[in-house]
Amino acid sequence: MAKIFIETTRLILREIIFEDVERIFLLDSNQDVMKYIGVKPVTKLEESEETINKIRKQYQENGIARWAVIEKESNLLIGWSGLKLSTEPLNGFRNVYELGYRFLPEFWGKGYATESGRAVLEYGFNKMNLDKIYACADIQNVDSNKILKDKLGFEEQGTFIDNLDNATCHWYELVKEKFN
Ligand SMILES: CC(C)(COP(=O)(O)OP(=O)(O)OC[C@H]1O[C@@H](n2cnc3c(N)ncnc32)[C@H](O)[C@@H]1OP(=O)(O)O)[C@@H](O)C(=O)NCCC(=O)NCCS
């Protein structure tokens, strides 16, 4: 049984397991999903197996990584959301916790990114006792910037160039005291 970390009104956030490989492939091979991510969509199932391997290694080494988001109504994996310990420099920051999320297009526009993101932040600040959580989004990714800034309360700290694809991204932080 996959370990469940959070339950919200409509969603379950649990560890990603190897049996999720086909849903993760569906997600990461979708051009619309990957438009602002900085890497090309995957084309082979093995690439998603490798992704799951990496994520599960992060669970072991860091105690946390992205979690599968399951829609209770359909019992389907609809995407992922969660904190990652960024061990590689990101905008010059290293070993910081960063919020991320990614959903299949048929589940956009339902408030799931916001619902899961809020629950993850609550977990980070109150269960993990973090003081600060970071996030970033390509400046052209209007929906994601709206979630971070307007819905989750992140404060923009400026922009930086993402090494992956040279895209300009907004850099955000949220301190525990400002999370409500
Ligand atoms: C970015 C992404 C997660 C945004 O998803 P989303 O579904 O638009 O985001 P939200 O969860 O905030 O949903 C917002 C919409 O749901 C609507 N909604 C419908 N029912 C709702 C409900 N019960 N509660 C809240 N909102 C609801 C809202 O009106 C809102 O639309 P609006 O912003 O036009 O007002 C999604 O586009 C995605 O996965 N993109 C690909 C990956 C990606 O770019 N990830 C981010 C990298 S930085």
Digits of tens for pLDDT over the chain (180 positions)? 899 999 999 999 999 999 999 999 999 999 999 999 999 999 999 999 999 999 999 999 999 999 999 999 999 999 999 999 999 999 999 999 999 999 999 999 999 999 999 999 999 999 999 999 999 999 999 999 999 999 999 999 999 999 889 999 999 999 999 997
From the alpha carbon of 146, which atom of ligand 1 is closest?
Answer: 33
**Matching residue, tokens 């988001």:** 69
Output the residue whose Cα is nearest ligand 1's atom 1: 144
143 Cβ closer than 6 Å to some ligand 1 atom: yes
User: How close is the Cα of 148 to the center of ligand 1, in Å?
Assistant: 11
Alpha helices in the chain (DSSP H): 21-28, 31-34, 45-62, 112-122, 142-146
Q: What is the pTM of this model?
A: 0.97
Centre of ligand 1 to C-alpha 18, Å, is 27
- At the topology level of CATH, where does 4-178 sit? Aminopeptidase (3.40.630)
